[in-house]
Chains A and B, each alone.
Chain A
């Protein structure tokens, strides 16, 4: 969305060069008798915390002023089945990428599942409006380029908060750039391209509303809490992908 396409290849090279150093920071267990009782948390590497906090605050304001009202209109004006259909169409497009990434991770069976889903949902599911495949016992997969890089051994690099798009890491931002570069919507005319991207954004954000509310009501320092949850989640996705080899 915000990345200029011409500079993408350069951005990848620079990013991967940057990823090298901090990545394999040793996971030292905390000393003390109680430390070993929970699964080790992912190392938090946040050298740009002041900047990240600034962007985080900007995103909070952006959410309050723009995302929340738009989300409200979206959920209240559009009937539930229509919203589900919209979500299914985006999920169907996403299944293509999940399949590609499962393939890149060497998980052929899962990739087969993902591509079967796309074939079934695009045809019987009327262009992806209906998720028939899930009812047929082909569950939706998980994963993206960031996870694939992680499976290949690339560390997360510094934690980043992106404007509007939200929490990420350097590795996941590169993954996201790759996704945007390979998304057909990027090459549409600006108006339909941005409308579709905006619609997906509003849909995803309204789907995640309950999680976001939970974070707001539970956290003492929302920035820290969100960062911990996000990094734990990415770590879990990557370990699960590695284990299933």
Chain B
């Protein structure tokens, strides 16, 4: 009897503690950004070109915290539903490769920067949040805002805005044009061609 009571107490305690232990969106963004900058800083200076070490940092720190399926869906907009499940999978694979390469090229600029979280605001009614950060260091500060969703049970990033610019939105414009000229297959072909370069 006493054991049962202790067990109930224990489970109540754990139940109350668990949400506090799960990483909130703010902590996730902060640790991700500071790990990325710290990793970049530890590399020797680099003068452009695809750097496998930078790609490794992105694969390790960023990829697990990004929801590339949802990113691809947003970039396709309403055309997402025109793609078959197999095509959706292909788009997600190719597009995530392109994004990883893009981010790898971009993070070199964050070498001398540190992250500071400015605010977190709720983003609509579906529980999504936007974590607004500022990269500070040498040169003028750069605002980077991350949109995150908790739809899958853990917080994942589905959009990044650098100084108000969303790459996903820019790709959506390209994808829309490709779908209307060459169909969904045109998007896959263009992504494959770009990734092969």
Residues of A at under 8 Å CB distance from B? 30-32, 34-39, 41, 44, 139-140, 210, 213-214, 217-221, 224-225, 227-229, 232-233, 235-237, 239-240
Contact = CB atoms under 8 A, between A and B. Distances in A.
A225 to B, nearest CB: 5
A214 B80 CA distance: 26
B48 A210 contact: yes
B164 A237 contact: yes
Query: Shortest 5 CB-CB distances between A and B: which pairs?
Result: A236-B164, A228-B170, A32-B78, A218-B102, A228-B173
A200 B108 CA distance: 25
Given A214-B102, A232-B166, 5 more contacts: A41-B169, A214-B106, A221-B174, A224-B174, A236-B164
B105 A214 contact: yes
B187 to A, nearest CB: 8
B128 A236 contact: no
B4 interface: no
B191 A220 contact: yes
B102 A217 contact: yes
Given A214-B105, A214-B106, A232-B169, A34 B174 contact: no
A213 B48 contact: yes
B140 A38 contact: no
A216 to B, nearest CB: 10
B101 A35 contact: no
B164 A38 contact: no
Interface stretch (B25-33, B52-60, B114-122, B155-163): B155-163
19 contacts: A32-B78, A32-B81, A34-B77, A34-B80, A38-B166, A39-B159, A210-B109, A217-B101, A219-B170, A219-B174, A220-B174, A220-B194, A224-B170, A227-B173, A228-B173, A229-B165, A232-B165, A233-B164, A236-B164
Contacts of A220: 171, 174, 178, 190-191, 194
A162 to B, nearest CB: 20
Nearest to A134: B140
Contacts of A37: 70, 74, 128, 147, 158-159
B127 interface: no
A236 B78 contact: no
A38 B163 contact: no
A237 B159 CA distance: 19
Contacts of A224: 170, 173-174, 177
Given A41-B173, A210-B48, A220-B190, A34 B78 contact: yes
Interface of B: 48, 70, 73-74, 76-78, 80-81, 98, 101-102, 105-106, 108-109, 124, 128, 140-141, 147, 158-159, 161, 163-174, 177-178, 190-191, 194
B195 to A, nearest CB: 11
A32 B164 contact: no
B158 A39 contact: no
Contact of A39 (B70, B80, B166): B166
A232 to B, nearest CB: 5
Contact of B173 (A31, A44, A140): A44
B182 to A, nearest CB: 11
A228 B169 contact: yes
Contacts of B174: 219-221, 224-225, 228
Contact of B164 (A34, A210, A219, A240): A240
A35 B158 contact: no
A41 B147 CA distance: 15
Contacts of B101: 217-218
Contacts of A140: 140
Contacts of A221: 174, 177-178
Given A44-B173, A213-B105, A30 B165 contact: no
A39 B169 contact: yes
B147 A38 contact: yes
Pick the most buried of B102, B141, B170: most chain A CB atoms within 10 A of its CB. B170
A31 B78 contact: yes
Which of A34, A36, A214, A233 counts the most chain B CB atoms within 10 A? A34
